[in-house]
Amino acid sequence: MNKKELGPRRRRELKTVSLMIQRYQQANAPQENERYLQLAEYAKKRLERCYFQERKPACQKCPIHCYQPAQREEIKAVMRWAGPRMLRYAPLTTLWHLLDELRPAPPLRKKHR
C-alpha cells in the first residue's frame, strides 16, 4: 500500500472526522459550506500523508502535529463541539474512536525526534 492509499484505520479516522465536521457545520454555520469542505479536504490530505500510516495514534496523542496552526485551532473547535454529541449520532463510530484513543503512539525514528 502506498502512503496515499488509506487503509482501514485511516479510512475509519476520515469517516469520523468528516462526520464531526459535517455535524458542526450543520449546527453552527450552515451557510459556510465551502469553508468546511476545505477543512474536510485538508483533514483528508493530512491522513493521506500521515507519518505513522496505519499505526496512527489518535491525533491528541500523536507526537507529530501535522496540522498548520490555523487549521489545528479550527479542527479542535469542531472536535470539542462534535465529540460529546457523536455517541448519539454515530455510536459505533464513537466506540471505534474511543478504542483508537487507547492506542499508544508508536516510537519515532531518530530523524523525527
Query: Does position 112 have pLDDT exceeding 60, yes or no?
Result: no
User: Which 8-state DSSP code applies to residue 2?
Assistant: -
Give which of 24, 30, 44 is closest to 89, Cα–Cα. 24
By the 10 Å C-beta count (0-12 exposed, 13-18 middle, 19+ buried), 50 is classed as: buried
What nine digits make up the cell of 86?
457523536
Q: What is the pTM of this model?
A: 0.86
52 neighbors 62 (Cβ within 8 angstroms):
yes
Distance CA 53, CA 75 (A): 20
Question: What is the reported pLDDT for 1?
Answer: 55
The string of pLDDT tens digits covering residues 50-86 is 988 888 888 888 888 899 999 999 999 999 999 999 9
Percent of the chain whose predicted confidence (pLDDT) is above 90: 62
Collapse the DSSP code of 14 into the 3-class scheme (helix H, G, I; strand E, B; otherwise coil) and give the result.
Answer: helix
